[in-house]
């Protein structure tokens, strides 16, 4: 049975207006799917209006109009270069999660109900004008009775019901596609939908974000590199945290005006990321410029400030080792070793031509890694590797794709600060120390064999 027909028709109308049907080339679809698409094209409004028929494909605008789930899914899928074609990714990365705020009276009512106290008991001052409004929550500024300035994050009313309803439609659509399309079955489409369902539902629970923030704060207590704001109160729908003062990471003009060392700042940022991945195994996976600020109280020793810990990543020890081995194999231009690592990780589907995969890696990535270290485009290398993974249908775990996406973003932030940034010079000591600490040659000789000296020598060869 088709769920939520009226909502499905609304999504259909939006898809038609923005020509999302053109995402599916009819000649590549099975006969039944072609007939269904033809029927959709006949029935949707664009078939009746010459103006609508001339509309270009606007995926970004369509997803923003479809609502919170579409926006969040688009943002998450923008990390899946192993699944999504480049021309679609170009539109997904432009998604903006900005919506009209809901009323302050509604926000205050939700705060009081959620924290079980009157607004005047909770705060000495509550600012009615929101600081920011997004699809899942909005943020107000306030002050506690002891004078501490805080930000109050409040989820939107009925947001959980809206997202669950849209997921029911999406799950029905995914199951229908898997029954009819081999490509959908090969992608494990229903599993992908379930993975993202859990990620987004977790983001609706602010107690999880509060726990993530406290955990990150614990790891960086006393750090001279990064500061994580303190959480004072939290519930499923409300989080009250310390208000920080900082400069957005993109405001390089302010850094220059204050005489800050941008190279040092960029190196700190990358060191923080590798520390999160290999020391803490707990990394911030939403490192866009709006979530990264810099404390400039002491311009000679600035600290990063991490906000919005809703989406975090963790890897198993096996995946951590896989990442380290992959990075070293790429940097040593040893593509057969890279394929071995990927094969041992279980990501290569049966029947894949591994020699062809290695040749494609060598052809595409080889020229990029043959450059001097200071000229390497590390993000470009990862993007090419992920594109090859998509074309060869490699089954890379979502958490690892989250890590690779975050690494691309972090390197981008770093090179924006300091274009000559050498990511490998910074990564070497962290990777080398982690491999030596976590690889016992006697214990793991049967599993890893001769790869142990290769890995350690490879780590030592990094500049």
In whole angstroms, give the CA distance from residue 234 to residue 155: 12
In whole angstroms, give the CA distance from residue 140 to residue 393: 44
Which residues are registered as beta bridge partners of 227?
Answer: 305
Distance of CA 344 to the CA centre of its chain: 25
Q: Is the dihedral of CA 37, 43, 44, 48 positive or negative?
A: positive
- Report strand pairing: 303-306 vs 226-227: parallel
Q: How far apart, in Å, do the first and last CA atoms of the chain sit?
A: 60
Per-position DSSP letters for 377-432, written without gaps between them: -HHHHHHHHHHHHHHTT----HHHHHHHHHHHHHHHHHHHH-TT--HHHHHHHHHH
Tell me if 72 sits within 8 A of 96, measured CB to CB. Answer: no
Tell me if 311 sits within 8 A of 285, measured CB to CB. Answer: yes
In whole angstroms, give the CA distance from residue 82 to residue 79: 9
Burial 276-286 (b: 16+ CB within 10 A, else e): bbbeeebbbbb
DSSP structure class, residue 276? I
Active-site pick, 21, 82, 237, 286: 286
Whether 387 sits among the annotated catalytic residues: the reply is no
User: Which candidate, 129, 9, 14, 5, places its Cα nearest to that of 67?
Assistant: 14
What is the set of active-site residues? 286
């Amino acid at each position: 049975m088709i769920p939520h027909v009226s909502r499905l028709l609304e999504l259909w109308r939006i898809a038609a207006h923005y020509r999302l049907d053109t995402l599916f080339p009819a000649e590549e679809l099975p006969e039944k799917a072609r007939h269904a698409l033809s029927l959709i094209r006949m029935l949707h409004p664009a078939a009746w209006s010459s103006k609508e028929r001339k509309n270009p494909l606007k995926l970004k605008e369509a997803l923003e109009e479809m609502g919170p789930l579409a926006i969040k899914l688009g943002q998450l899928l923008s990390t899946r270069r192993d699944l999504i074609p480049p021309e679609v990714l170009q539109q997904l990365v432009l998604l903006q999660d900005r919506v009209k705020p809901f009323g302050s009276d509604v926000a205050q009512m939700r705060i009081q109900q959620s924290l079980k106290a009157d607004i005047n008991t909770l705060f000495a001052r509550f600012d009615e004008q929101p600081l920011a409004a997004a699809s899942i929550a909005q943020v107000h500024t306030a002050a506690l009775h002891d004078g501490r300035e805080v930000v109050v994050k409040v989820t939107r009313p009925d947001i959980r019901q809206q997202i669950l309803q849209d997921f029911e439609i999406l799950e029905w659509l995914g199951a229908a596609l898997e029954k009819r399309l081999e490509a959908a079955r090969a992608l494990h489409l229903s599993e992908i939908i379930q993975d993202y369902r859990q990620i987004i539902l977790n983001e609706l629970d602010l107690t999880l974000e509060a726990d993530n923030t406290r955990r990150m704060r614990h790891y960086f207590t006393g750090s001279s590199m990064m500061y994580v704001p303190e959480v004072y109160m939290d519930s499923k729908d409300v989080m009250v945290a310390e208000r920080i003062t900082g400069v957005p990471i993109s405001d390089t003009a302010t850094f220059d005006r204050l005489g800050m060392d941008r190279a040092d700042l960029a190196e700190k940022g990358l060191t923080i990321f590798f520390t999160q991945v290999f020391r803490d195994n707990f990394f911030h996976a939403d490192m866009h410029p709006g979530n990264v600020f810099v404390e400039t109280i002491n311009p000679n020793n600035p600290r990063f400030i991490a906000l919005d810990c809703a989406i975090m990543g963790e890897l198993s020890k096996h995946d951590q080792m896989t990442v380290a081995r992959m990075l070293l194999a790429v940097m040593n231009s040893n593509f057969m070793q890279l394929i071995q690592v990927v094969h041992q990780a279980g990501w290569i589907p049966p029947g894949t031509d591994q020699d062809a995969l290695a040749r494609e890696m060598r052809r595409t990535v080889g020229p990029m890694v043959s450059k001097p270290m200071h000229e390497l485009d590390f993000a470009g290398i990862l993007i090419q590797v992920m594109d090859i993974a998509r074309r060869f249908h490699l089954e890379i775990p979502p958490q690892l794709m989250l890590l690779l996406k975050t690494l691309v973003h972090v390197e981008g932030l770093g090179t924006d600060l300091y274009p000559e940034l050498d990511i490998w010079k910074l990564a070497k000591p962290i990777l080398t120390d982690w491999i030596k600490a976590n690889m016992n040659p006697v214990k793991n000789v049967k599993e890893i064999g001769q790869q142990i000296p290769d890995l350690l020598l490879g780590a030592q060869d990094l500049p």
